[in-house]
Structure 1
Amino acid sequence: MEPFVKQDEHTASLFVLEKWGKAPGGTLLTAGFTGRKGGVSLAPYDSLNLAFHVGDRPEDIVENRRRTAAAIGFSLDDWTCGEQVHGVRIGVVREGDRGRGSLDRASAFQDTDGLITNVPGVLLTSFYADCVPLYFWDPVTGAVGLAHAGWKGTLGGIAEEIVRSMAAEYGSQPQHIHAAIGPSIGECCYEVDDRVMDHVRNSGNGLLISDEVTKSALYLDKGDGKYMLNLKEINRHIMIKAGILTEDIECTSWCTSCSHDLFFSYRKDGGTTGRMASWIGMRKR
């Protein structure tokens, strides 16, 4: 069953991770992914673009973020994000960091592709147009995290870095952490060349791609130096290697390129397009 469920929402297009709807200790947990509809941005960013770096009008982006936060049950003051660079750096979000990056790029966590927090009322967000959103929730400690994983962040092990960071900061044990892999470009549409595949083959993440069963799950060799790469499955393998239980990992079937009417896609749109957002946050009942 698809874990990211499309919602009927008039102000913002939302795909909610419904299974994670309740958290212990009198809090509500919300996590999900936005679509491309329901905002005010003009073409080619029409309409719910949520990222500043693409060239859209800042006032439209702020309004889109305001609408999205409200639809989720938060305010723009809670919106907290990083300035992504396709790396593996993790930012720890404390009470005083609430709202960093909500109104501009300069105040965001710099050079940061992953965020963790245990502060209720903070809305963690990150931005996508084909890359893979990763979600983490420890129901024991109440900690949550997000990671932005393109092929560089995926092979760099950002999923494992989040698990390590949650353990160091909050005492989270990997076997207690629940994880999810959100809407992103699928192996059906993500063609790469030998340059990228050399990184996959030489990655230090224990992918065991010499094993034929594992290899077939991670990529398809099309010949002539072309491959269809499954970033979702690679991230799932890395999560398991990090100690997360297989049964506690949710994985979407949505492909951002195939479902172009619902999502922005960097590849489908030729490089000029808007950005969706992943989110996760806790709030009082």
Structure 2
Amino acid sequence: MIEVKANSTLYLKYTNLSQYKHLIQFVSTRKGGVSNDPGKGLNVGFHIHDAPENVIKNREILATALGISPQSFCFLHQVHSSKVALVSTKDRGRGTTTYEDSIADTDALVTNMQGICLNVLSADCVGILFYDPVKKAIGAAHSGWKGTVKKIAAQTIQCMHEQFGSEPKDILVGLGAGISPEVYEVGEVVVEAVQAAFGTTDGMISHHTMTGKAHFDLWAAIKCTLTEAGVPADNIECDQLCTYRHPELFFSYRRDQGKTGRFVSGIMLQEE
């Protein structure tokens, strides 16, 4: 990934998507911003204990760093589902200034419209960005353990195929920062869900050498889902940045025991 500094803010860009100059794509960090604890820095989530005016200001700061209008943003009310929503011009700006106006009960968005920035929030879950350079279509998905075993990444690709004629072999994907398997201890419910979803836990569930506890590799499971759906492995970028181990960059729900902010992964088409 590529680091981009803009005044006091820092955001990341995917290398595989950066060749497309008409594409805005990013993963924000907590650098900059006006929020205090528990989401100190650039918290962009309304649904934590932060003043709404701070969140709005942080979103404005991020938009300025990206060189776009905050009214380009489109946000979700994420519920760890496999639901994908088709976004049109009427959805531009939804959820930008109020949580209640977010697209309800959805965890992924797709569009082929210019000027709409599809956003997903994270604080350990993996944000996934999709781009089809052939059909000029984009997607964004939020994938925690529940979304991962529900294969929301594949659902997003299927929606892009149905709506825009996208072929999986053409789609480029960026897997964002998330909690790494080294620190992501899970219980039997998750292990059983992985087995049920994939028919195996190989390469996805490991056991800690000292504690014997199960650990889940979200990135490996999502990559498995993507390749099963027909996305070439070479089309997937994943730098495996751990939210838990980088408190200077990312909010982490587990590290901060639920009292933390949110960062955002976003993607937007512009005029070529």
**Normalising by structure 1, what TM-score?**
0.91
- 1:19 is aligned with what amino acid? N
Question: 1:83: Cα distance to partner?
Answer: 0.5
Unpaired segments ≥5 residues, structure 2: none
CA displacement, residues 170-198 of structure 1 (integer Å, 9 cap, x when unaligned): 11111111111111111111111112111
Report what 2:81 is aligned to. Answer: 87
Aligned partner of 1:119 among 113, 131, 135: 113
Moved more, 60-69 or 29-38: 29-38
8 A Cα contact 2:46 2:99, kept in partner: yes
The structural deviation recorded for 1:72 is 1.1
1:30 aligns with 2:24: yes
Matched residue, 1:242: 229
Correspondence list, 1:195-214, <5 A:
195-203=189-197, 206=198, 208-209=200-201
Partner of 1:231: 218
Equivalents in 2 of 1:101, 1:8: separation in Å?
Answer: 26
Give secondary structure in 1 for the equivalent of 2:220: helix
Count of aligned residue pairs for this structure pair: 271
Root-mean-square deviation (CA, aligned residues, Å) is 1.4
Deviations 1:32-61 (A, max 9, x none): 211111100111111100011112100000
The answer (yes or no) to whether the contact 1:154–1:235 under 8 Å persists in 2 is yes
1:10 aligns with one of 7, 10, 18: 7
In the alignment, what sits opposite 2:148? Answer: 154
The aligned amino acid for 1:130 is D
Deviations 1:198-227 (A, max 9, x none): 111111xx4543xxxxx1x21212377621
Asked if 1:177 corresponds to 2:171, the answer is: yes
- What is the DSSP-based 3-state SS (H/G/I as helix, E as strand, rest coil) of the residue aligned with 2:30? coil
1:221 maps to a residue whose letter is: H
- Find the residue that maps to 2:178 and give its secondary structure: coil
1:29-178 equivalence runs, <5 A: 29-178=23-172
Give, in angstroms, the shift of residue 22 of structure 1. 3.7
Q: Which amino acid aligns with 2:247?
A: H
Letter in 2 for 1:277: V
Q: Which amino acid is 1:258 matched to?
A: R
Instruction: Summarize the Cα distance change of 1:30–1:207 in structure 2 as closer, same or farther, 3 Å threshold.
Output: farther
CA distance in 2, matches of 1:137, 1:166: 10
Percent of aligned pairs with the same amino acid: 34
Matched, 1:190 2:184: yes
Say whether the 8 Å CA contact 1:39–1:48 is kept in structure 2. Answer: yes
Three-state SS of the structure 2 residue aligned to 1:284 is coil
Q: TM-score, normalised by structure 2?
A: 0.95
Q: Which residue of 1 aligns with 2:252?
A: 265
How much does 1:16 deviate?
A: 1.3
SS of 2:252's equivalent? coil
> Does residue 16 of structure 2 align to residue 19 of structure 1?
yes
Does the residue aligned with 1:106 lie in a helix, a strand or coil?
helix
Contact 1:193 1:225 in 2 (8 A): no
8 Å Cα contact 1:194/1:225 also seen in 2: no
